[in-house]
Amino acid sequence: MAYQFDFAAVLQQGDLLLKGALFTLELTAIGTLAGVAIGVVGAVVRAWRLRPFDWLFGAYVELIRNTPFIVQLFFIFFGLPSLGIRLSEWEAAVLAMVINLGAYSTEIIRAGIQAIPHGQLEAASALAMSRFEALRHVVIRPALAKVWPALSSQIIIVMLGSAVCSQIATEELSFAANFIQSRNFRSFETYLLTTLLYLAMAILLRQVLNLVGRYLIVGRR
């Protein structure tokens, strides 16, 4: 018997998919802001070898980049309660995404900082710019402009990776899809629509990041 498609059974609970998609975007927005902030600090510390923090950031980067995201998530949600630190599903998911993106963005931004000619810093000093002004205008912004495409791609990867947060019952998009499929047993239709939603979110996020880079970073150097 030929398979009978029934998208109506999924669309009847489309509000759950949209709610999950918005939840995913919210997770991504918070994770991006905090994760990139950590990345900027870590990149400066590692590029300028500010001891002993460069060693601490180096260990952090190696730990996160060489372990699976789902293991990091499980450690935060299931492991930390053993030490008396209890987090909700939402808090654990946000913390895991921030920590993960922070490690990757540290290395991406550090590459941008190291690509800046040393003569620019000497010129900033000659112009009597303060260390903070030089850091802001001569180091951070040009470095971000150089690596913005790579950083944008990493942010999208983290957004797509947030699907594993459903394993701790975080109510993001994949959790909503699993819930709907368990009720109507329309796996093909449910996950096809979920795939299209992830695709749409990735394209939308890339466009937003391109605009941010064009008008706030690259365009203001």
**157 within some domain:** yes
Give the per-residue pLDDT at 134.
Answer: 65
Tens-digit pLDDT profile for the chain (221 aa)?
A: 577 888 888 888 889 999 999 999 999 999 999 999 999 999 989 988 888 888 999 999 999 999 999 999 999 999 999 999 999 999 999 999 999 999 999 999 999 888 877 666 656 655 556 566 666 666 788 888 889 999 999 999 999 999 999 999 999 999 999 999 998 888 999 999 999 999 999 999 999 999 999 887 776 54
Domain count, the chain: 1
Cis peptide before 149 (omega within 30 of 0): no
CATH number at residue 123: 1.10.3720.10
Tokens of 187: 């796996």
Report if residue 199 sits inside a domain: yes
Q: How many CA atoms lie within 13 A of 129 on its CB side?
A: 17
Q: Tell me if 21 is assigned to some domain.
A: yes
Classify residue 75: in a domain, yes or no.
Answer: yes
- Indicate the DSSP class of residue 165: G
Cβ neighbours of residue 41 closer than 8 Å, sequence gap 6 or more: none
Residue 2 belongs to some domain of the structure: no
CB 108 within 8 A of CB 150: yes
Q: What pLDDT is attached to residue 197?
A: 96
Expressed as residue numbers, the domain containing 41 is: 7-218
Can you give the pTM of this predicted structure? 0.90
Q: Is residue 1 part of a domain?
A: no
